[in-house]
Amino acid sequence: MIFEMGAKLEGDNFDTKKEDKKKNSKQTIESKNKHQLVFTFEKRKGKPVTLVGRFYLIDKDKKEILKLLKKKLACGGSIKEEWIELQGDVKIKVKEILQKEGWKFK
């Protein structure tokens, strides 16, 4: 063979897949009344952030809850793992909104 260095191009398989960077953790999906949600409050770069969490739901349901909270509170937010992050100190308002929807808190 003329070329020894570089990729080996013999055969029909050319594996170009990248490994999944996301961890495929098995989540247990629970109903609303079995969740015991917890609040944490942080300051990131001087700005207040409210974390509501451990939502053990499928991604679609988490996104719907986030959408509801962002709409009712008129603030920004995101989902990180099982936690929902909301901009500002909105703990009391979030608790009221989610209790009306049937969620429980510690």
Give residue-wise pLDDT tens across range 65-88.
999 999 999 999 999 988 999 999
Output the CA torsion sign for 53, 56, 57, 58.
Answer: positive
Q: Return phi, psi of residue 2, to 5°.
A: -80, -45
Q: In angstroms, how far is the first alpha carbon of the chain from the final one?
A: 70
Is a pLDDT exceeding 60 seen at residue 3?
no
Per-residue model confidence as pLDDT tens digits over 29-60 = 777 666 678 888 899 999 999 999 888 888 89
DSSP strand E in the chain: where?
Answer: 38-44, 47-53, 77-80, 83-87
Instruction: For residue 84, list its beta bridge partners.
Output: 52, 79
Is the whole model's pTM more than 0.75, yes or no? no
